[in-house]
């Protein structure tokens, strides 16, 4: 929406032209909080996050018109890329957990839609990388039946990590791995 006017931006953000800077900032923070919450509920499915990119771009544009950020506010730490190749499953899950925690922390600390965009992109890339590595590192497991798997029910990577550290994989964990492989396969076939 490149031809957005100030009035269109204010309407999109649920604001009135008479609103003062404090009211504008509070409303943007409220909308930002809701957007962050939605990202956190969908982070495990990259396709769902991709669908949020265009609305995010529109909100960034509206925010830039209604409440331009100062240079200090706009300069936030960019998310690190996760592209290390782990030596084993334990290192893979530890790296994933650490990277995801860092991204979630950055997400909660953002104060603008513009600062949210690189974090959302980093979450998409992290999940795609996680899925590729998971399939590669757990390739000896068979996939579960597709109807038994919900694409939004990701494996508890913390429990899997703990199980890998404590010894042989039991049937319950093996079943969870098989379900995760099927979930990844299902997600990989989704298109925007």
- pLDDT tens digits, 21-44: 899 999 999 999 999 999 998 888
Classify residue 54: in a domain, yes or no: yes
Classify residue 103: in a domain, yes or no: yes
Classify residue 108: in a domain, yes or no: yes
DSSP assignment, residue 19?
-
Rounded to the nearest angstrom, the gap between the alpha carbon of residue 4 and the centroid of all alpha carbons in its chain is: 27
Cβ-contact 46, 187 below 8 angstroms: yes
Residue 180: the pLDDT is 93
- Domain region containing 31: 6-188
Residue 132: the pLDDT is 95
Q: Distance (Å, rounded) from C-alpha 170 to C-alpha 175?
A: 9
Q: Distance (Å, rounded) from C-alpha 113 to C-alpha 137?
A: 36
Classify residue 1: in a domain, yes or no: no
Classify residue 68: in a domain, yes or no: yes
Classify residue 107: in a domain, yes or no: yes
Q: How many domains does the chain have?
A: 1
Percent of the chain residues topping a pLDDT of 90 = 65
Show the CA angle centred on residue 83, arms to residues 134 and 105, nearest 5°.
90
Classify residue 21: in a domain, yes or no: yes
Q: What is the pLDDT of residues 97-154, one digit of tens each?
A: 999 999 999 999 999 999 999 999 999 999 999 999 999 999 999 877 777 787 778 8
Q: Distance (Å, rounded) from C-alpha 141 to C-alpha 179?
A: 10
Please determine, for residue 58, whether its predicted confidence score (pLDDT) is greater than 90: yes
Q: Distance (Å, rounded) from C-alpha 42 to C-alpha 138?
A: 24
Closest residue by Cα to residue 189 from 139, 143, 141, 120:
143
């Amino acid at each position: 929406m490149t031809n957005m006017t100030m009035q269109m931006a204010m309407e999109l953000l649920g604001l009135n032209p008479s609103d003062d800077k404090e009211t504008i900032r509070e409303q943007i923070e409220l909308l930002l909080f809701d957007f962050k919450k939605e990202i956190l509920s969908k982070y495990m499915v990259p396709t769902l996050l991709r669908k949020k990119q265009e609305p995010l771009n529109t909100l960034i544009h509206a925010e830039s018109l209604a409440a331009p950020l100062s240079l200090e506010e706009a300069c936030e730490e960019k998310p690190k890329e996760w592209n290390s190749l782990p030596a084993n499953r334990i290192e893979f899950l530890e790296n994933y957990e650490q990277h995801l925690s860092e991204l979630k922390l950055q997400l909660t600390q953002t104060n603008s839609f513009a600062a949210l965009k690189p974090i959302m992109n980093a979450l998409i890339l992290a999940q795609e990388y996680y899925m590729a590595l998971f399939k590669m590192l757990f390739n000896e497991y068979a996939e579960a039946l597709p109807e038994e798997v919900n694409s939004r029910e990701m494996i508890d990577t913390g429990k899997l990590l703990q199980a890998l550290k404590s010894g042989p994989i039991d049937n319950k964990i093996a079943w969870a791995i098989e379900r995760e492989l099927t979930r990844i396969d299902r997600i990989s076939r989704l298109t925007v």
